């Protein structure tokens, strides 16, 4: 027995990233560069990854109390803003909500069919109580012995402390990485020496002085009438609510030598309120200014590539990706703030939301010059660049890069090429000889001494999560997975809500259809995805259901083949061009006092397979609370039910699924009709109307009747 345990420990004393399993073929891995010995139990726990949350009723209870107190405080503020005291009704509401949350938390997930004839509306709480009593009966059934995760976590913490080991999630693959504290310290010193961006303050805590200076600076601006009283109250800080930022590193396990990415976490830093306030003002302005040269997703990029390649791509087309080295820490603080001023001048703005430009610049300068943090028992002041983790830093870096790249983008565009940027990564697709492009890049390197460019040129490239290649003048694309890729997704046995787990196979296969340009790569990526999900304990039935829902979303009503794949894919990529945007997204505050048309059909589609699982009541409760929320915000909802297209399509899909399982389609249609009837009962109870409409009426409601359309 002792020999078997020793063999188990030796088997777990390894870096999984160097094994067959660690390369993403067999299972999600951990990267054990500290070479610490782990038992099989500890190893399996770490393989569940950073996203896994085990069921801990004590933690859930503490969190419930905190969140209810926060909710109560927010509701009170809403009432007081209207000069109304909520009084006892609010106390009663919070008490009932507390009981409801406790009941829901204590109901285990069961697959037994529940009674679909339960009443709704006023009987919501009674229904939950009845389900809870039903679950107590099922507790007698066979259950697996629960693992004591709490004890395992405590044991691992103690083991890591004794061995001087740091547990951190890796930078890209997001699996656990085990490294030595000595290695972290050494690499941290090397990084600080290289960038010269941090000044060590020793053991002297700068927090008390920073709190005083921040409040004094805001008070001076208020007295000079640079900011309003409301803005002063919003941005000022209380000593008991703030703490100094701290530095930590994410290991880049996919790169040789495992370099570190520095992150300064300052969620309660004294300047975080100002930073977020400015970012909320400035980021929409930057997005508007740079919309022609920036890209935010692989889906957006692939649409641009398809459009460009149809007319311009040939056998000589080359790809070029350029990485900007240490962007956040290499931008001087003065020049970074000036780039914000340049953006406001470029947009010809004198005020933003009533705030003078000079006020914005002063506040930005204060944020950039007061980045303090702690690391390894020492305090530091960042004297160059911005803190990675501060909201304003990203907007500042983007503005700085926008004015740096303008000549480059213009040159590429005038040559008929394609240019885009995502933060510190540049993408170019152009019909130039490689030698000419290299010569131009050498010129670009001299545009700004603070920007260091690292180019990569060839007939293929990777950008974001997209792989693209020039195959004899034809664009080939597929999903790109970094060398550090691990088949790790949110484990299905985590206690996250079910809709989050369902969303993973849905969105990942949707990405596969969008990215894969040929049918065979689609099949390969789909099966790789299926295998990864199975390894993360996802039931094959759920995977198949969500894959079918992707086909439904893409309006694919036939089995995909080598002959029709490209036609359906192009139809999906160009789908939004065929539907003019009739409505805009609105917040509850914007809709207050107005009539809102709500598409009930889309709501049905969101809760898929509801009639198969006979869980109608859960979805009705969700709808019930959504309606109450709208009524609370003084919104009059009118529910529109599309009876001609979406529901028929939905019923056809469910019928096919049941046919494949040798079941009749009658129970599907009747089950779906039961759900619709119960929705009608719910809306009648709330004195709300449902309009049975055709597809075109949705746009008439939005355009002609001045009704805001929402989902």
β-strands 595-599, 636-642: how paired? Answer: parallel
What pLDDT score does 453 carry? Answer: 94
In whole angstroms, give the CA distance from residue 30 to residue 23: 11
What pLDDT score does 617 carry? Answer: 52
705 with 604, same domain: the answer is: yes
540 with 631, same domain: the answer is: no
Higher pLDDT, 158 or 693: 158
The average confidence (pLDDT) of the chain is 79
Q: Are 367 and 274 in contact (CB under 8 A)?
A: yes
Instruction: Locate all alpha helices (DSSP H) within 82-180, ordered by sequence.
Output: 88-106, 124-138, 149-163
Q: Are 614 and 672 in contact (CB under 8 A)?
A: no
Spatial strand order in the sheet of 595-599: 690-693, 636-642, 595-599, 708-710
Q: Tell me if 404 is assigned to some domain.
A: no
- Location of structure tokens 């065929």: 578
Classify 324 as helix, strand or coil: strand
Q: Is residue 686 scored above 70 in pLDDT?
A: no
**Nearest-5° Cα angle at 705, 624 to 641:** 40
Mind listing the pLDDT tens digit for each residue in 617-638? 555 666 666 777 777 677 777 7
Domain boundary, last residue among 514, 544, 578: 578
Averaged pLDDT for residues 226-245: 92
- Location of structure tokens 């449902």: 690
- Location of structure tokens 């829901």: 104
Q: Tell me if 31 is assigned to some domain.
A: no
530 with 596, same domain: the answer is: no
Q: Tell me if 681 is assigned to some domain.
A: yes
Phi, psi of 515 (to 5 degrees): -90, -35
The torsion angle over the Cα atoms of residues 289, 292, 298 and 302, rounded to 10 degrees, is 160
Q: Tell me if 560 is assigned to some domain.
A: yes
Averaged pLDDT for residues 487-513: 91
What pLDDT score does 134 carry? Answer: 46
Q: Which domain holds residue 678?
A: 588-710
> How would you write 9-36 as a 3-class SS string?
HHHHCCCHHHCCHHHCCCCCCCEECCCC
- Location of structure tokens 């995977």: 543
Number of neighbouring beta carbons within 10 Å of residue 213: 15
Mind listing the pLDDT tens digit for each residue in 322-367? 999 988 888 899 999 999 999 999 999 999 988 999 999 999 999 9
Strand partners for 457: 320
Q: Tell me if 391 is assigned to some domain.
A: no
Classify 318 as helix, strand or coil: strand
In whole angstroms, give the CA distance from residue 262 to residue 390: 12
Closest-CA residue to 362 (of 346, 338, 342)? 338
595 with 705, same domain: the answer is: yes
595 with 692, same domain: the answer is: yes
574 with 597, same domain: the answer is: no
Mind listing the pLDDT tens digit for each residue in 533-554? 999 999 999 999 999 999 988 8
Q: Is residue 676 scored above 60 in pLDDT?
A: yes
509 with 533, same domain: the answer is: yes
Domain count, the chain: 2
559 with 594, same domain: the answer is: no
602 with 687, same domain: the answer is: yes
Report the chain's terminal Cα–Cα distance, integer Å: 60
In whole angstroms, give the CA distance from residue 33 to residue 14: 8
Mind listing the pLDDT tens digit for each residue in 156-173? 899 999 999 989 888 876
- Location of structure tokens 């260091």: 452
541 with 567, same domain: the answer is: yes
**Nearest-5° Cα angle at 382, 378 to 388:** 100
Q: Is residue 709 scored above 90 in pLDDT?
A: no
Mind listing the pLDDT tens digit for each residue in 274-292? 999 999 999 999 999 999 9
Q: Tell me if 697 is assigned to some domain.
A: yes
Closest-CA residue to 29 (of 533, 482, 481, 487)? 487
Q: Tell me if 658 is assigned to some domain.
A: yes
In whole angstroms, give the CA distance from residue 299 to residue 507: 12
Q: Tell me if 91 is assigned to some domain.
A: no
Domain boundary, last residue among 524, 552, 578: 578
Closest-CA residue to 675 (of 598, 623, 710, 597)? 623
Q: Is residue 154 scored above 80 in pLDDT?
A: yes
Tokens representing 515 are: 């990215």
Q: Is residue 123 scored above 70 in pLDDT?
A: no
603 with 698, same domain: the answer is: yes
Tokens representing 694 are: 């055709």
Mind listing the pLDDT tens digit for each residue in 184-235? 999 999 988 888 889 999 998 999 999 999 999 999 999 999 999 999 999 9
List the helix and strand counts (H, then E) for the chain: 27, 21
Which of the residue ranges 78-82, 184-188, 662-666 would you say has the lowest mean pLDDT? 662-666
563 with 595, same domain: the answer is: no
Classify 176 as helix, strand or coil: strand
**Element of type H or E holding 598:** strand 595-599
In whole angstroms, give the CA distance from residue 53 to residue 144: 18
Domain boundary, last residue among 555, 578, 601: 578
């Amino acid at each position: 027995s002792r020999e078997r345990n020793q063999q188990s420990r030796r088997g777990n004393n390894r870096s999984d990233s160097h094994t067959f399993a660690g390369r993403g073929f067999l299972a999600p891995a951990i990267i054990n560069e500290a070479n610490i010995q782990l038992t099989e139990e500890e190893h399996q726990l770490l393989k569940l990854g950073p996203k896994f949350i085990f069921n801990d009723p004590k933690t859930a209870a503490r969190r419930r109390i905190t969140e209810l107190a926060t909710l109560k405080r927010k509701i009170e503020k809403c009432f007081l803003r209207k000069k109304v005291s909520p009084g006892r009704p609010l106390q009663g509401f919070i008490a009932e909500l507390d009981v409801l949350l406790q009941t829901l938390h204590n109901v285990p997930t069961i697959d037994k069919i529940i009674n679909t004839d339960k009443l709704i509306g006023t009987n919501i709480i009674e229904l939950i109580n009845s389900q809870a009593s039903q679950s107590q009966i099922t507790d007698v059934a066979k259950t697996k012995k629960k693992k004591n995760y709490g004890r395992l976590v405590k044991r691992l913490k103690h083991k890591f402390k004794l061995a001087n080991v740091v547990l951190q999630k890796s930078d890209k693959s997001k699996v656990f990485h085990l490294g030595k504290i000595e290695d972290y310290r050494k690499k941290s010193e090397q990084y600080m020496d290289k960038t010269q961006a941090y000044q060590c303050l020793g053991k002297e805590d700068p927090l008390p002085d920073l709190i005083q200076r921040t409040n004094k600076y805001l008070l001076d601006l208020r007295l000079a009438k640079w900011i309003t009283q409301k803005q002063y109250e919003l941005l000022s800080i209380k000593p008991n609510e703030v703490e100094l930022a701290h530095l930590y590193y994410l290991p880049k396990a996919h790169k040789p030598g495992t370099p570190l990415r520095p992150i300064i976490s300052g969620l309660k830093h004294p300047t975080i309120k100002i930073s977020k306030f400015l970012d909320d003002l400035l980021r929409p302005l930057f997005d508007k200014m740079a919309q022609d040269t920036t890209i935010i997703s692989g889906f957006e990029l692939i649409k641009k590539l398809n459009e460009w390649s149809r007319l311009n791509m040939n056998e000589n087309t080359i790809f070029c990706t350029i990485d900007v080295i240490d962007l956040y820490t290499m931008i001087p603080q003065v020049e970074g703030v000036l780039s914000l001023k340049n953006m406001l001048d470029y947009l010809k703005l004198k005020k933003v939301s009533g705030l003078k430009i000079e006020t914005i610049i002063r506040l930005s300068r204060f944020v950039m010059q007061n980045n303090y943090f702690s690391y390894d028992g020492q305090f530091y002041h960042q004297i160059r660049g911005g803190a990675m983790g501060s909201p304003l830093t990203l907007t500042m870096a983007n503005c700085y890069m926008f004015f740096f790249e303008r000549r480059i983008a213009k040159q590429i565009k005038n040559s008929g090429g394609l240019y885009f940027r995502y933060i510190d990564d540049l993408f170019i697709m152009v019909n130039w000889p490689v030698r000419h492009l290299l010569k131009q890049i050498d010129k670009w390197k001299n545009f700004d001494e603070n920007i260091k460019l690292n180019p990569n040129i060839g007939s293929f490239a990777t950008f974001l999560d997209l792989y693209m290649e020039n195959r004899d003048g034809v664009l080939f694309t597929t999903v790109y997975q970094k060398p550090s890729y691990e088949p790790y997704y949110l484990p299905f046995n985590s206690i996250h809500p079910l809709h989050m787990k369902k969303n993973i196979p849905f969105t990942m296969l949707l990405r596969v259809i969008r990215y894969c340009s040929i049918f065979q790569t689609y099949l390969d990526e789909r099966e790789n995805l299926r295998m990864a999900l199975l390894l993360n304990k996802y039931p094959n039935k759920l995977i198949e259901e969500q894959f079918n829902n992707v086909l439904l979303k893409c309006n694919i009503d036939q089995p995909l083949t080598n002959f029709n794949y490209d036609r359906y894919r192009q139809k999906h990529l160009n789908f939004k061009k065929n539907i003019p945007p009739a409505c805009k997204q609105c917040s509850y505050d914007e809709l207050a006092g107005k009539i809102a048309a709500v598409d009930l059909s889309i709501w049905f589609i969101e809760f898929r397979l509801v009639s198969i699982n006979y869980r109608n009541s859960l979805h009705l409760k969700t709808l019930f609370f959504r309606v109450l929320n709208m009524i609370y915000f003084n919104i009059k909802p009118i529910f529109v039910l599309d009876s001609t297209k979406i529901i028929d399509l939905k019923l056809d899909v469910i019928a096919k699924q049941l046919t494949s399982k040798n079941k009749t389609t009658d129970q599907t249609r009747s089950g779906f009709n039961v759900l619709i009837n119960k929705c009608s009962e719910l809306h009648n109870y709330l004195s709300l109307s449902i309009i049975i409409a055709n597809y075109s009426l949705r746009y008439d409601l939005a355009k002609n009747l001045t009704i805001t359309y929402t989902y």
